[in-house]
Copies of this chain bind each other. A is one copy, B any other.
């Protein structure tokens, strides 16, 4: 983690610890520099990162303000590694159903830009939140990039391992969302009736160099699926 990323995390913690609310003003730059013992450029970079993440907004000539929605129980749709953090107060567990090396499906090979003859790690898990099923997950990892996975890793945070264990940098992702009626198998794993609503999220994860390494398909239990996104003006 770079210095400004570290400072960004500290400022975020400061906002939470002090229970700052939407619209509250942050201290001025000079105060932040003293408070977090960082240079002006580090603080500026940290604030830019927090703005991108939707944690603060900057009003020209007026200052930096807190963004913090008022709803409890919503999961950040875009944060992955920050997932557990966002879920403070929730208890998340994973049950691994399958983990093996195999050939990808045509769909997975297509989304990972790889050959159907090459190997993937296939992971099937059910994730639980507060002891209720949150989602059924099927993931395909390009084995030439994600060279090793085991049950222990897969039961915990795979992305933490990819980052810290394999030293790879996750760059960006393409997400695809759909809503449909769940099928019999999905219903079984999610503990719902067949035909219940399901939120389907497919994600292709890329390294910073653009290589796609993970194609994941998640089916969310609609009773547990409450997501939020803090979007910025550049999308509007």
The size of the chain A interface, using a CB distance under 8 A, is 62
A105 at the interface (CB under 8 A from B): no
* Copies of this chain present: 2
C-alpha gap A167/B129 in the complex (Å): 45
Interface bits A64-87 vs B (CB < 8 Å: 1, else 0): 010101110010111111100000
- How far apart sit A30 and B81, CA to CA, in the bound complex (Å)? 37
A57 with B234, Cβ < 8 A, contacts A178-B226, A179-B179, A179-B198 known: no
Known A-B contacts A81-B236, A209-B59, A210-B23; the reply to A230 vs B172 at CB < 8 A is: yes
Separation of A80 and B208 alpha carbons in the complex (Å): 27
Q: Which residues of B contact A172 (CB under 8 A)?
A: 54, 57, 67, 230-233, 236
User: Is A15 at the interface (CB under 8 A from chain B)?
Assistant: no
